Structure 1
Amino acid sequence: MTDAPHRTASDDDMLLERLHSLAWGAGGVIPARGLLPDKPFPPLTIAEVERAEQHLGYRLPQLLRRIYTEIGDGGFGPEGGLASLTPRHIPHWYVPDWPCATTIHAQRAGWEPPASWLFLTGGGCTMEWYISLIAVDHPVLLWDADGWEPERGQDPHDGLRYAAPSLRQWLWTWADGGDVWDEALAQPE
């Protein structure tokens, strides 16, 4: 785990300023990876966020609502960049449709994380980052679809791990230049 100071809701304005600067100041692209669009998607209105929440059946955490309404509808952030809440098409890009959390949520088939978990971003290969919409502090979960073996008596829950005790901490790790994977691997299983 990082030795970063404990962050609270009183630090959210500072976090949002940092995220805004990272998203818009550098064009939204992480130079070493170049996996993000040229810039984040425009912010949503409160009404658009409320429509997304109706589709999800859950209210988003206040911090996530602020990110989507004050910074942008995804396309920036840790890993592959936050998923959007509304479908987005990116012409002339290697991925024509940006991951949409509400679409992914509606298309759950077979065993997936519970409906109270919202897709945040891909983690590569079969890994995905989620946030709990109902747990205290909204922990971030890392799920590996291939992280369990039925022949060993495991079930899909064995592919789950808590990656960060809160969305706030996960985002601060990234905003402070840290690696969210280091944070996830430091969490007890």
Structure 2
Amino acid sequence: MSQKTIQRVFARAQSDQTRTDQSDISPSSIRSKLTENELSESKRKLGFEPPALYVTLMQTVGNGGFGPGYGLMGLVGGATDDMGKTSVELYKDFSQFDSDDPAWKWPYGLLPVCHWGCAIYSCIDSTNDGAPIKTWDPNEWEEGTSPELAIRSTEISLAQWLETWSDGTNIWEKMFPSS
């Protein structure tokens, strides 16, 4: 992602009206920038390295509270979803074994970073160098099946996703064209 795109994301995030796609419904504020200690703790808790671009945004713009949907969730100490969970906390919750549902196995490195409402999340595949965005929609999942059946690829990278958002494009319409 170019420095120009980071600047455009930063500029859009500075306005109360454009900080998130849902600013009119749920105003948000940008969290303090991610510290080195918070980053180290995040890596330790996750067990993997979050994508460099996501970390750069958290360190230069703020630790969440801006971006598509209801805004990017932060790493440790950052912005949360509507249930009060950061990306790290939600990943840890999703990754827990469920003895009542042995088919449940959250994909390693699939970091939920953006809440859209109705428990739908955009996630970054941290295991792939391109950091592709995937959509978790539990409304398409049935208990007793793998969550991977309700995870769809958007076929765009985190960089492309953020460039699209910084241009003012409605990403929800791209994710769910018939909605």
Which TM-score band applies after superposition, normalised by the shorter structure?
0.7 to 0.9
Q: Secondary structure at the match of 2:38?
A: helix
Give runs of aligned pairs for residues 38-187 of structure 1, distance below 5 A. 39-87=29-77, 98-108=84-94, 109=96, 110=98, 111=104, 113-149=106-142, 155-185=146-176
Tell me the amino acid that sits aligned with residue 60 of structure 1: P
Aligned length: 168
1:60-87: CA deviation from partner (whole Å, max 9, x where unpaired): 2221111010000101110011112124
Cα pair distance change 1:89/1:141, threshold 3 Å: closer
Unaligned runs of 5+ in 2: 99-103
Deviation at 1:157, TM superposition (A): 2.2
Deviation at 1:135, TM superposition (A): 1.1
Cα pair distance change 1:56/1:175, threshold 3 Å: same
Asked whether the 8 Å contact 1:61–1:138 carries over to 2, the reply is: yes
Structure 1 stretches of 4+ with a deviation exceeding 6 A read: none
Tell me the amino acid that sits aligned with residue 174 of structure 1: W
2:24 is aligned with 1:33 = yes
Deviation at 1:54, TM superposition (A): 1.6
